[in-house]
Structure 1
Amino acid sequence: MTVNPSRKHLVLLGAGRAHLQVLKGLARQRTGDMNVTLVAPHPYYIESAMLPGYVAGDYTLEDIRVPLDGLVEASGAGFAPAHVHSLDPVGRRVQLSTGDALPYDVLSIDTEPAVDRDETEALMPGARRNALFTRPLENFVQLWPQLQALARDRALQVAVIGSGLQGAELAMAAAHALAAPHGSRITLLAGDAPLLHDQPAALQRRVLARLRALNITVLQDHCASLDGRALQLASGASLVCDAPILAAGAGAPAWLRQSGVQADEAGEPVVNERLQSESHRQVFVVPPGAPAEVGAALDANLRTAIGGGAFRKAPADLSRLKVVSCGDGHAIAVWGPLGLEGREVWNWKDRRDRRQLAALFTP
């Protein structure tokens, strides 16, 4: 890896949506005062908003996974295909799985939410060996067709472990994809709190009704362990399960939590309105669930951090529109107390998602 030492070095960790917008900005307007290196474990971007559609069979893998090489080349950035082993924010250095120690002047982190498998195994013994993890996405999209193939041979008992919209969307997509030809059944293991208790009442009501229509069993319980044949639940009950799908527990990667960058009680980095770490101002972090518009602010602020100028305030996610994919070409859209659902909502969501994905890779 060659870096010109006479110019400042911007390192982008992760190929998230905001970083793609930064690369797109570089492709439009190169800057001569910095080197840029993108670090990502795979040379692809996977659109997570379209993942339930892929699971349901509405999309092929090529529809939701786009190679990075064209955008990286157009931006003039270097690409390091590697995992991050550790981050030293004091020494301004990133240790990579390749053995390289990558120095930086400014660092930006926009990585996929990660699941700590050691921690998960401690909470749910047997998960590492028996569960199908949805993170990282690159692994999941490769393994999902194998589960579909099993369902074509016999009926499966599938458990989706995860609360929130992600778990509900995945359960509905799996119910559609695995029903034929043998009638596989889906259970959503949603934890203690009522499912979608933190969502608008109109959305909660419609999603619960859709889950019932798809004959998905919702259990308010936790998985205590897995043995490949059944899940042992915290309540003491046992749930027969051929295929547990783990859609919970994703957050900041271990290397970031262990770096010394200031974090909150949940282990997530604390950032200011400019997306800078509160403890290390040369480190920028894109929070999970940040709105699509955050990429433009990040691009401007990284250039400011390198070359000087005024920082911009990153937009907060204030959208009241919630859109949920339900499988079988069906979707729900809710705006406050108002809601719509059906195939037309799915068609609108499909057009929007395809358009936004294409725009990320259009110079």
Structure 2
Amino acid sequence: MTNPSRKHLVLLGAGRANLQVLRGLARQGRGDLGVTLVAPHPYYIERGMLPGYVAGDYALEDIRIPLDALVEASGAGFVPAHVHALDPGARRVQLSSGDAMPYDVLSIDVEPVVDRDQTEAEMPGARRNALFTWPLESFVQLWPQLQSLAAERALHVAVIGGGRAAVELALACAHALAHPHGTRVTLVSDENPLLASEPPGLQRRMVARLKQLGVTVLQDRCTGLDGRELQLASGARLVCDAPLLAAQPGPPAWLLQAGLPLGEDGLPLVNERLQVEEHRQVFIVPPRAPLELGPVLEANLRTALDGGSFKKVPVQASRLRVLSCGAGRAAAAWGPLTLEGREVWHWKDRRDRRQLASLFKI
């Protein structure tokens, strides 16, 4: 599989930072380094533009970009596979293809996942009846089927989840499915306050948008799904044709079971260079990493392979928060200042398109 005479860098996952590493290798060359990208699908999906895709503002090809040109330009190999297990002691990754891939240095930047077994235990019937928003590749392919059904008759759609992704999805659905038959959308947001981690001004703007688009908000918890309705913790039942599960995703099981030290948040611990202290040849990109993390990650990967000085990860200093509101609108907050409207959406659209294009610009 690999030439044992040269060092091997393995990139697990087609996340933004790993793709920025590939872009750097394409521009600066990889020398005698062997590089392999492992990902389930040969695409990158921009999750920040997903609500726009659901709302109809983007076509699928606007947010899902093939990886082949970037991989070829970087000189890397591509293995389409899922990861089954990681053995950091042996420096080996077990893949769904059956291969055990060795590495000298490993960079992990994978798509988060929803634990379907745990979800099924908490909401019996979810595995069979719900449309999961993760993994993104599956969701973007199934979403047009729901659109087609809503074009035939009025539906009652329930979005299950209380975070910003669930709110953005509910608004996008309400806009996209309202015509021609008046499909209704309900957001089942758990018992916690809606968007509790967002600035108060932004919370108010988003609640107002939910009301304007006719989204019903239930601060209740889904405890089961049977195909025609949801069972709620309060004892109530909600008639539902299409439940969309927008639960908060987390690290994949194989990463949590690799024997790496975990923090209080349940995530693998890394230092300021993104290294696992006990296994310094393993680098992990955190869930809410800075957008332009790639150049620092690339420099640190090269240092781990060839020696030199490591760089610290830049601090995420921006206080800007931007959420999609459906119907070609977005809301933004900067400190106490909040704005909402079409102008904010146009700004967000230009920013997102520019950042996505730059990711694949060689």
**What's the counterpart of residue 123 of structure 2?**
124
Q: CA RMSD in A?
A: 1.0
Corresponding residue for 2:150? 151
Where 1:72 maps in the other structure, the secondary structure is helix
Report the number of matched residues: 362
| Partner Cα separation in structure 2 for residue 90 and residue 222 of structure 1 | 41
CA deviation digits over 1:256-314, x for unaligned, max 9? 11111112244311111111123321111111121112111111111111111111111
Shift of 1:99: 0.5
SS in 2 for 1:344: helix
Counterpart in the other structure of 1:210: 209
Specify the alignment match of 2:303 in structure 1: 304
1:195 corresponding residue in structure 2: 194
**Structure 1 residue 19: deviation in Å?**
0.6
What is aligned with 2:340? 341
Q: Please state how far the C-alpha of 1:95 moved relative to its aligned partner.
A: 0.5
Q: For residue 171 of structure 1, what is the aligned residue in structure 2? A: 170
Provide the secondary structure at the position in 1 that maps to 2:195: coil
Structure 2 residue identity aligned to 1:94: V
Instruction: Decide whether the 8 Å contact of 2:274 with 2:284 is kept in 1.
Output: yes
Map 1:139-288; keep pairs closer than 5 Å: 139-288=138-287
Secondary structure of 2:196's aligned partner = coil
CA distance in structure 2 between the aligned counterparts of 1:316 and 1:120, rounded to whole angstroms: 33
Equivalent position SS for 2:326: coil
TM-score (norm 1): 0.98
Residue-by-residue CA offset, 1:158-178 (whole Å, 9 max, x unaligned): 111111111110000000001
SS in 1 for 2:274: coil
Whole-Å Cα distance in 1 between the matches of residues 4 and 277 of structure 2?
27
> Unaligned 5+ residue runs, structure 2?
none
* Secondary structure of residue in 2 paired with 1:31: coil
Listed one character per residue, the Cα deviations across residues 161-207 of structure 1 (whole Å, up to 9, x for unaligned) are 11111111000000000100111111111112100111111111111
> Counterpart in 1 of 2:100?
101
After TM superposition, what 4+ stretches of structure 1 lie above 3 angstroms from structure 2?
A: none
Q: Secondary structure at the match of 1:310?
A: coil
Q: Distance in 2 between matches of 1:265 and 1:97?
A: 30
- Alpha-carbon deviations, 1:82-121, whole Å to 9, x = none? 0111111111100011101000111111011111111111
**Equivalent-residue separation in structure 2 for 1:233 and 1:165 (angstroms):** 21
Give 1:123 deviation, angstroms.
1.1
Once the two structures are TM-superposed, the CA of residue 316 in structure 1 deviates from its matched residue by: 2.7
Partner of 1:110: 109
Aligned-residue offset at 1:215: 1.1
Contact 1:86 1:95 in 2 (8 A): yes
CA–CA distance in structure 2, aligned partners of residues 162 and 287 of structure 1: 22
| Partners of 2:334 and 2:148 in 1: CA distance | 38
Q: Distance in 1 between matches of 2:361 and 2:163?
A: 33
8 Å CA contact 1:12, 1:36 repeated in 2? yes
Residue number in structure 1 paired with 2:14:
15
TM-score, normalisation: structure 2: 0.98
The answer to whether the 8 Å contact 1:202/1:336 transfers is: no
Q: Distance in 1 between matches of 2:121 and 2:288?
A: 27
> Which residue is 1:313 aligned to?
312
2:67 counterpart of 1:61? no
| Superposition deviation, residue 33 in structure 1 | 3.9
2: CA distance, partners of 1:65 / 1:291:
21
Query: CA contact under 8 A between 2:36 and 2:78: conserved in structure 1?
Result: yes
Q: Which amino acid aligns with 1:155?
A: A
Q: What is the rounded CA distance, in whole Å, between the counterparts of 2:105 and 2:197 in structure 1?
A: 36
Do 1:33 and 1:307's aligned partners in 2 also have CA atoms closer than 8 Å? no
Q: Aligned equivalents of 2:122 and 2:114: distance in 1?
A: 12
Pick closer, same or farther for the CA change 1:187–1:279 going to 2, 3 Å.
farther
Identity of aligned residues (%): 72
Which residue matches 2:292? 293
Provide the secondary structure at the position in 1 that maps to 2:313.
coil
